[in-house]
Amino acid sequence: MSESLRRHSDYGQVGLDEADLSRDPVEQFLEWLRDAESAEVFEPNAMVLSTVAADGAPSSRTVLLRAAEPSGFEFVTTLSSRKGTELQARPAVSLLFPWYALRRQVIVLGDAHPITAEESDTYWVDRPRGSQISAWASEQSRPIASRAELERRVAALEERFADGAVPRPSAWGAVRVVPRSIEFWQGRSSRLHDRLRFERADAASPWSVQRYQP
């Protein structure tokens, strides 16, 4: 058995009290994100996105957060991919930010919806050219015969768009998750972790805070 499977790490005495929280959970999230950036956590904006297929089967993958605003949490994707089609059919999703080095995590539950073409265009023009080419080359979530085939597509697209800007594919766009709950988790000794969750009935309702048992 691997040694890590038997190890029980002590998470320390740094706690999270209700008095520590901002009144706005998005502001609290941004404060913790800045802490992760200051601690040089690798890809501090990385989050595990979980979706549910039409048959009820869950799936998860890591994506990058691109914005956190009062209106919601935004990321970009190929809307024809597995996650894209699942969230359009069943918009309820989970976002998990695993900041292990800080003994912290944030869990967001909410509903995901594609946003406007104009907003997606703004994200697109900020992407590195190589990432734009890759978005055209990859039919995300679909099988491919080999890595070489993918690289041939990239080379062909680099030649196709050599003389100008790379346009945004129609299937590529930004998604906004409107949160219903945002939980802040702080690891503590003896697994007596702190869990404080902001909750609301809908986007027009005020937030309330509830402590949950670890």
CB crowding 89-98: b at 16 or more within 10 Å, else e? eebebbbbbb
195 is in an annotated binding site: yes
141 is in an annotated binding site: yes
61 is in an annotated binding site: yes
Cβ atoms of residues 44 and 33 within 8 Å: yes
64 is in an annotated binding site: yes
191 is in an annotated binding site: yes
193 is in an annotated binding site: yes
- CA end-to-end span of the chain: 27
152, 191, 197, 200: which one is catalytic?
A: 191
63 is in an annotated binding site: yes
- List the structure tokens of 171: 């299937």
Q: Pick from 135, 139, 142, 140: which is nearest to 169 by CA?
A: 135
90 is in an annotated binding site: no
13 is in an annotated binding site: no
Q: Using CB atoms within 10 A of its CB, is residue 148 exposed (0-12), middle (13-18) or buried (19+)? A: exposed
Cα 185 to Cα 7, 47, 98, 131, 192: the distances in Å are 21, 15, 10, 33, 11
Tell me, yes or no, if 152 is annotated catalytic. no
Annotated binding-site residues read: 61-66, 82-83, 105, 123, 127, 131, 140-141, 185, 191-193, 195
Known binding-site residue numbers for FMN: 61-66, 82-83, 105, 140-141, 185, 195
Binding site residue list for substrate: 66, 123, 127, 131, 191-193
Which residues are catalytically annotated?
191
